[in-house]
Amino acid sequence: MKLLLLHVAALCFFPHHDSTWISEDEFLTPVAVADQLGMEEGGSAYMDQLLWLQENPYDLNQITFGELLSLPGVTEADAHAIMAFRKEHGRFRTVSQVAAIDGGCRRLMEAIAPYVVVGNGRKNGLLSFRARVERDNPSDDSFVGSPLHSYSRISFSPKSECEVGALFEKDAGEPTRAAYASGYVLARNVVPDVDVIAGDFSLEAGEGLLLWSGKTITKAQMSVRSPAKQTSGLKPHRSAGELNSLRGGGISVAGVRGRERWCALLFYSRRSLPATVQGDGSVSALAQDGSSTDSASIARRNALEEELIGARVVYTHAEEMTLGVTAVRGCYDHPIRRNDPLRFAGSRYVIASMDMRCASGIFVVFAEGAVMTGGFQAVVTGTLIHTGPACTFAAVFRNYSPGFDNPRGAGFGDNAETRNERGMYFGGVWDATSSLRVSAYFDQYRHPAPSENTPIPVAGDEAVIDFHHEPATGISLDGRFSVARNGTCIKGEDAWGREIRREARSERCRWKGGAGFRIGRHVFLSPQIEYDHVTNPPSVDEWGFLLRQTIRVDAGRIFSLEGRMTVFGTGSYASRVYDVENDLSGLFAPHPLAGEGDRWYLVARIAPVVWCSVSVKYAVTEKEAGISAGARPRDLPRTRIDHVGVQIDVTPP
């Protein structure tokens, strides 16, 4: 009923007018990418990168081939078409020209529009400052620090060759002394073709088997793009993701000779990590995040010192062939010993990899192989087939041997852990018409060795098909069906009462549909529905649903307002649904919703002057009384959580 009233009110107060006006809301903004592609817990590092690029876009007349490929929705054919246009015509005058070039289309223009400009390559001024404060009420009783979540970031770039930045974040419940602080200094072309970085940075290489900045999106990123990663080399760490960065320094030296280019880089990192240290001095577990909200997590903070030193050399010929070699030596000040025999053990390791990428005609072939201490190996190889601007296929094989456990890797696979996995993946995307895009993939994999979580070998598979259709100006339709089956181990007894273990399959089926309607120049409506069915032997068989209506009013640069009403219902947390929300600028907010209830929020932004804006978000989640699942069911009272956040952005001219 609440959703119906919200929708009717919008139609009454905002009458429809035909218009060809296109807003940034219709582009593939980071939140739109996350929502359309079903990102949930994963993908924070990738989203951080997109959010930064949205505020500090590339200059379309200076962007490199590799930087184009790093943008969502851009294929090799697209990147070659853009580079060829620049070579023939000299410069782009507007971003919209991309839609008219040979091989280009409206889809490509909309995909890159949030991340490129024609001009000086920046939306912000020389100085950029952001401060944010958020709080949930009531807060968690287990917090040892203030329930406020605070975030501050400042960056200063007096020239395009120089950038200085600093970041401070305190999670809700953390004491100030446990907050995360980082900073960096980046100098490009210190001497011609030499870049230097000091402080917190990240490094990506090859297909992610050896170095990658955090646990990135695996298959959900894009059906033909996620298997073939695009590296960005050395870059500043501008994210609040505490465990995704290196801390130290790096130097990159490049050279160009005709159509050939080479690049060599060296880096060194030494930083502290949260870990559980046993009485004998060994580490039994590494923390999955850097939050320190209770006495136990504070005790684990900075318990382990990690030291890395490494090098990478890359050779590129005419943007058609790339060869890379990478080597890293890692040391810990405490030996690591875990119960899982497939996990890394010891205090030192050496890992090396070779990667290649070759484009010829309609084919793109890529591969990376890595070997680490102990002789454990990993390989991923695949091909992309571009049958034309409207159709691309991908086929990828990976084989990560049991025992290969690189702490800094995140290769393509079932869960980006890059270990104990063998699989085959097929994906494709087809622009059936100028207004209809269909994409799909199927992945089948197996974990061939027992592990701590699954004491027997298990297998799984996943299939996804989705479409995006724009039947008329200002109207879009989206749909997705997915089914994922994961192997799990269940215990039982045979006829003689002996314990046996056998493989079973947990399954999640998801149906998701949505639409977008532009009403006049300033109003956008977006209803969405989702149903999930989860089975997890021997006891879970549940349904979950989500209904939501979003209204966005954009009055230009000065003011914008968005509101959303969501109704949800699930059997338990196992059948949870995710609501990916627009949030304060720079935040990626996928909210897991479980139980029965509703959630609504308002986000308002006002910019009284060009160089200053203030944003406010208020959200309320209410859940009905229920019964908890588990061995000891108990009554749960009706709960309400209020969330408020305030942010200020200052970018002096």
pLDDT band at 74 (very low <50, low <70, confident <90, very high): confident
pLDDT band at 147 (very low <50, low <70, confident <90, very high): very high
pLDDT band at 101 (very low <50, low <70, confident <90, very high): confident
C-alpha span between 360 and 368 (Å, rounded): 18
pLDDT 10s digits, 593-633: 888 999 999 999 999 888 899 999 999 999 887 655 444 44
Letter for the amino acid at 627?
Answer: I
User: Which candidate, 221, 184, 208, 210, places its Cα nearest to that of 38?
Assistant: 221
Place of tokens 């690189």: 406
pLDDT 10s digits, 399-412: 999 989 988 888 88
Query: Is the Cβ–Cβ distance between 627 and 634 less than 8 Å?
Result: yes
pLDDT band at 109 (very low <50, low <70, confident <90, very high): confident
Query: Is the Cβ–Cβ distance between 552 and 596 less than 8 Å?
Result: no
The pLDDT of residue 125 is above 80: no
The pLDDT of residue 540 is above 80: yes
Query: Is the Cβ–Cβ distance between 547 and 564 less than 8 Å?
Result: no
CA distances from 613 to 156, 437, 480, 618, 647 (A): 18, 36, 36, 17, 8
C-alpha span between 96 and 99 (Å, rounded): 6
Report the predicted TM-score, pTM, of the whole model to 2 decimal places: 0.84
Fold of 23-55+57-121: DNA polymerase; domain 1 (1.10.150)
The pLDDT of residue 425 is above 90: yes
pLDDT 10s digits, 466-503: 888 989 888 989 899 999 999 888 877 777 877 778 88
pLDDT band at 553 (very low <50, low <70, confident <90, very high): very high
pLDDT 10s digits, 363-388: 889 999 999 998 999 999 999 888 87
Query: Is the Cβ–Cβ distance between 72 and 54 less than 8 Å?
Result: no
Q: How many CB atoms lie within 10 A of CB 528?
A: 19
The 3-state secondary structure of 124-189 reads CCCEEEEEEEEEEECCCCCCCCCCCEEEEEEEEEEECCEEEEEEEEECCCCCHHHCEEEEEEEECC
Task: Please calculate the CA angle 150-151-156 and round it to the nearest 5 degrees.
Answer: 155
pLDDT of 338: 85
Query: Is the Cβ–Cβ distance between 651 and 125 less than 8 Å?
Result: yes
Question: Among residues of the chain, what percentage have pLDDT more than 70?
Answer: 86
pLDDT of 401: 94
Where does CATH 1.10.150 sit in the chain? Answer: 23-55+57-121
User: Which candidate, 72, 75, 64, places its Cα nearest to that of 30?
Assistant: 72
In a 10 Å sphere around its CB, with 0-12 CB exposed, 13-18 middle and 19+ buried, how is residue 499 labelled?
Answer: exposed
pLDDT 10s digits, 275-297: 999 888 899 888 877 778 888 88
C-alpha span between 646 and 138 (Å, rounded): 18
Q: From start to end of 555-638, where are the E strands?
A: 559-570, 577-581, 589-593, 596-609, 612-623, 626-627, 635-636
User: Which candidate, 197, 293, 298, places its Cα nearest to that of 245?
Assistant: 197
Task: Please calculate the CA angle 254-255-259 and round it to the nearest 5 degrees.
Answer: 125
Question: What does the chain come to in residues?
Answer: 653
Q: Give the helix/strand (H/E) hosting 496.
A: none
pLDDT of 20: 26
Token digits for 2? 């609440």
**CA-only gyration radius of the chain, Å:** 25
pLDDT band at 23 (very low <50, low <70, confident <90, very high): very low
C-alpha span between 135 and 235 (Å, rounded): 31
